[in-house]
Amino acid sequence: MTRITVPATSANVGVGYDCLGLALTLYAHFTVERADTLAITGCDERYAGPDNLFYVSMCYALRSWGVEPFPVRLHIETDVPVARGLGSSSTLVVGGIYAAASLTDREITREEAVALACRMEGHPDNVAPAIYGGLVCSFTPAGVAPEGCDAELEPEEPRCICYPVDPSLRFVCVVPPYEVKTTEARRVVPRTVALADAVWQMGRIAGVTRALETGDVDLLAAANDDRLHEPHRRALIPDYDAVRACALEAGAATLWISGSGSTMTAVVREKNTDFCPISKGVADALRRAFPGFDVRILACNTTGARVE
């Protein structure tokens, strides 16, 4: 029997559209073993069949290694909300790949795991931090088309650059009781951008990356000003402006849309990480203002996916 733990992720990290992703201390746990017939528990009954994304991913990995897929007994325990922009599908994809390796006694590198996951997900911004942990900048040299692009390109190995995240930072995730459909989130993002916006974005990606490494929240607040996707996607989240205003007034440095939403992530720097008084103040203010929302104080996960 194998137990696999995969962290949730916050993709885009504001200005890092389709290239930055951050692993968080929120987890999906999978217990899996070989069986005579496929049996999946711990999820909605409609997902408890051969089209379960974990099992599909496992079979995909096995076939890529020339191994005939086999049935398993799988139990899912997850705290990652579904369809809220925290990488729930990526946890299943990554978990399935690691299950395939573990159940066949195959050694798999993180690079290989990312390549397999990227072929399934289409782009690496969520799967890479789920595998590596920390903050990851990832890109495919000339392969995977950008999110929402119809071009068909030959797949290539993704490149991943990993950065540590200052341990004093906390991420207050605000999860509304509604989802943003990925198809709609992709549709509203323009296919082309002005040169001035591209230049604007490049400097700020470097700024956000450096700020998260060092814990410089003043730099983070200045750099996290996206022009590519958030101005268009914020309209799909009715409470975006109110949540942002509340979080900043309560002491957060900045806020970004996690993935394509609807989750929003506020960033706080703590002097006392044992008690996290600023994060708790931000979270309490948000809970009072938005009583139907799920508000969680998270840190950066530094290990990525684990197999036990």
Q: Say whether both 135 and 35 belong to one domain.
A: yes
**Smallest Cα–Cα separation from 200: which of 171, 245, 169, 231?**
231
Q: Residue 299 pLDDT more than 50?
A: yes
Is residue 202 in some structural domain?
yes
Q: Say whether both 156 and 180 belong to one domain.
A: no
Residue range of the domain that includes 248: 169-298
Write down the residue that tokens 């060092």 correspond to: 214
Q: Say whether both 74 and 173 belong to one domain.
A: no
Please, are residues 67 and 99 in contact by the beta-carbon 8 Å criterion? Answer: no
How far apart are the C-alpha atoms of 181 and 119, rounded to whole Å? 21
Is residue 267 in some structural domain?
yes
Please, are residues 6 and 24 in contact by the beta-carbon 8 Å criterion? Answer: no
The pLDDT of 111-132, averaged and rounded, is 90
- Tell me the CATH number at 31: 3.30.230.10
Q: Say whether both 31 and 157 belong to one domain.
A: yes
pLDDT of residue 151: 42
pLDDT in tens, 125-174: 899 999 999 999 998 776 444 454 444 444 567 889 999 999 999 999 99
The pLDDT of 229-240, averaged and rounded, is 94
Is residue 204 in some structural domain?
yes
User: What average pLDDT does the structure give for the chain?
Assistant: 92
Q: Say whether both 20 and 84 belong to one domain.
A: yes
Is residue 294 in some structural domain?
yes
Q: Say whether both 131 and 187 belong to one domain.
A: no
Q: Say whether both 216 and 159 belong to one domain.
A: no
Domain boundary among 124, 145, 164: 164
pLDDT interval class at 201 (50, 70, 90): very high
- Tell me the CATH number at 189: 3.30.70.890
pLDDT of residue 287: 97
Q: Say whether both 151 and 24 belong to one domain.
A: yes
Q: Residue 90 pLDDT more than 50?
A: yes
Is residue 305 in some structural domain?
no
Q: Residue 7 forms beta bridges with which residues? A: 27
pLDDT of residue 142: 61
Q: Say whether both 225 and 245 belong to one domain.
A: yes
Q: Say whether both 135 and 228 belong to one domain.
A: no
Is residue 87 in some structural domain?
yes
Is residue 212 in some structural domain?
yes
Domain boundary among 135, 164, 193: 164
Instruction: Give me the helix-helix angle, 110-121 and 88-103, nearest 10°.
Output: 130
Q: Say whether both 143 and 24 belong to one domain.
A: yes
**DSSP assignment, residue 81?**
P
pTM of the model: 0.91
Total domains in the chain come to 2
Q: Say whether both 147 and 223 belong to one domain.
A: no
Tokens of 80: 């990652």
Domain boundary among 128, 143, 164: 164
Write down the residue that tokens 């394509």 correspond to: 260
How far apart are the C-alpha atoms of 139 and 156, rounded to whole Å? 10
Tokens of 98: 């690691």
**Smallest Cα–Cα separation from 131: which of 211, 22, 12, 286?**
22
Is residue 263 in some structural domain?
yes
